[in-house]
Structure 1
Amino acid sequence: MASPHPPLGPVVPIPKPIPLSTDLEAIVERYRDLRLHGLKVDPEAFTSLYEDEVQFPFETWKSRVENRIARTLVAVDPETNQGEYIGEEPYTKELSSAFAIQRLLRQEWLGIVTIIGPVRFSEQSDDVTATSPKPQIHTAFIKDRRYQIPDPSTVENRDLSDAHAIFLIVGLFILPQARRRGLAGRLVEASIKYVREEARGKKASKASISIQVAPTNFAAQGLYERAGFYAIVMNSEHGEESVMGLEMEVNLGSEV
């Protein structure tokens, strides 16, 4: 009798670069299709709208996959399209690009999450006055009162030695039929591991992750809090009253 709890399958990072244009196009299409499906069936999991993103040209989706300061992790089915079981190894940065591409092309995508960063965070600001609040972590990703992905040319090669490195998790989505199997938790754990490795590689002294969710999305709030995130009060001056903020500081000296 089939197990009521199928194997979780591995978490595979979308590699960069993807040498073959045909592979790149296929992976971009898979990313686009899963994200649009998520926006349609579970809109409260996102800060974007299906009606907006469905109109994006292919080049916009391609730029997201290739963004040099963002990494998308994919939870895939442990069985290939031919029914061959090929394991459920957890996420690892050392997974070869060719092997990652093979898995992303051969296996069904069950969920995705994207980590943006790192960017340098300063606890001081020229705008801080006696009456203005201290900058919050999430403000590193806000421009013109909206969350925006930083321009890679302005941050990717910036020296982060001994700096506080900030990351933003966005777009976590699991297919409805694949839920209640621990996949969301595995993607969050993989994201934390990715942040730890990136911050160490950049020689940062401290690393933190920021997440924003809808105030009514109690399942997401619980998921992140179980992983070690804590709720914050967000500065209303940034126009973010419609979201709830969560943060966590990542221990750079430990794998737990």
Structure 2
Amino acid sequence: MAAPHHPLGPVVPIPKPIPSSTDLEAIVERYRDLRLHGLKVDPEAFTSLYEDEVKFPYKTWQSRVENSIAKTLVAVDPETNQRAHIEEKPHAEKLSSHSASIQRLLRQEWLGIATIIGPVRFSEQSDDAMAASVKPQLHTAFIKDGKYQIPDPSTVEKEDLSDTHAVFLIVGLFILPQARRRGLAGRLVEASINYIREEARRKKVCKAGISIQVSPTNFAAQALYQTMGFHVSEKAIVMNSQQGEEEYVMGLEMEVNLGSEF
């Protein structure tokens, strides 16, 4: 995907694989630090808790960055250069887009992140006999027993999604408080939609949708997503928290136009 640009900060996808173990560790650490910061200062933006994730070992964070069915997009500040000691490439040598993304992620300050999970097959038929007449919502493709289930990459990668209805999930959207009101959240959502469109085309699906869940009190996020074309599918989805308690989130979704850019 060609990362869209914005005068206040381009969006850079975390590429896979990252050949250098040193670069990988640095990117994993930056991802971990930004997510933990988000969980701490803006907990309502997430369905997880800081107290739980701060205990995760490095391998857990690495697995998130390297997950083959997940794509994390980073909003960076192009004015920063935090790794000045990195060896400069000769001007005549043009970096590949893969290498250029790694260099930018290492050099520039991270202002925000969003992660896309999927695609997974979506069934338009309800498994619940009591609700057979009700069309399932997109988020049901990722929920089992009231909890979000991240699909097994090895299973999803082998599945042929040609001519199917596929669904993607956008999670963990967060912008540093000091970088808000600059349009970065919208740029991350826009870049996510464009990535999903290209991935759906690559998988040759016939229909693609996106699901997002937000806190019912996160009115700013709700307004942003609706501005970007999402509609509210359910105002109170019952889920289980990390502590096993019931909690409610609002579901938003949209169908992706596979024929044109966002």
Superposition CA RMSD, Å: 2.1
2:107 counterpart residue number: 106
CA distance in 2, matches of 1:241, 1:234: 12
- Structure 1's unaligned 5+ residue stretches are 1-5, 85-94
**AA of the residue aligned to 1:70:** A
Alignment partner of 2:158: what SS?
A: coil
**1:16-37 superposed Cα distances (whole Å, 9 cap, x missing partner):** 1111111100000000000000
Pair 1:244 & 2:250 matched: yes
Aligned residues: 241
1:230 counterpart residue number: 231
Structure 2 CA distance for partners of 1:124 and 1:235, relative to 1, 3 Å = farther
Residue pairs, 1:38-53, within 5 angstroms:
38-53=38-53
**AA of the residue aligned to 1:13:** P
1:210 counterpart residue number: 211
CA distance in 2, matches of 1:70, 1:38: 19
CA distance in 2, matches of 1:82, 1:63: 25
Structure 2 CA distance for partners of 1:183 and 1:235, relative to 1, 3 Å = closer
CA distance in 2, matches of 1:205, 1:177: 41
**AA of the residue aligned to 1:144:** D
CA distance in 2, matches of 1:196, 1:13: 15
CA distance in 2, matches of 1:99, 1:221: 33
Deviation at 1:157, TM superposition (A): 2.5
1:134 counterpart residue number: 135
**AA of the residue aligned to 1:166:** V
CA distance in 2, matches of 1:186, 1:96: 19
More displaced stretch, 36-45 vs 156-165: 156-165
CA distance in 1, matches of 2:45, 2:144: 22
More displaced stretch, 186-195 vs 120-129: 120-129
**AA of the residue aligned to 2:255:** E
**AA of the residue aligned to 1:100:** S
Structure 2 CA distance for partners of 1:153 and 1:234, relative to 1, 3 Å = farther
Deviation at 1:175, TM superposition (A): 0.5
Residue 125 of structure 2 contacts residue 132 of structure 2 at CA under 8 Å; is this kept in 1? no
Deviation at 1:131, TM superposition (A): 6.4
1:70 counterpart residue number: 70
Residue 75 of structure 1 contacts residue 110 of structure 1 at CA under 8 Å; is this kept in 2? yes
**AA of the residue aligned to 1:189:** E
**AA of the residue aligned to 1:254:** S
CA distance in 1, matches of 2:133, 2:30: 44
**1:33-91 superposed Cα distances (whole Å, 9 cap, x missing partner):** 0000000000000000000000000000000000000000000001232699xxxxxxx
Pair 1:158 & 2:159 matched: yes
Residue 8 of structure 1 contacts residue 77 of structure 1 at CA under 8 Å; is this kept in 2? yes
**1:91-149 superposed Cα distances (whole Å, 9 cap, x missing partner):** xxxx7110000000000000000000000101114433456743221011012210121
CA distance in 2, matches of 1:185, 1:123: 29
Per the normalisation by structure 2, the TM-score is 0.87
CA distance in 2, matches of 1:213, 1:27: 26
Alignment partner of 1:22: what SS?
A: helix
More displaced stretch, 152-161 vs 20-29: 152-161
Per the normalisation by structure 1, the TM-score is 0.89
CA distance in 2, matches of 1:61, 1:121: 28
Alignment partner of 2:73: what SS?
A: strand
Alignment partner of 1:103: what SS?
A: helix
Overall identity of the aligned pairs, in %: 79
Residue 208 of structure 1 contacts residue 250 of structure 1 at CA under 8 Å; is this kept in 2? yes
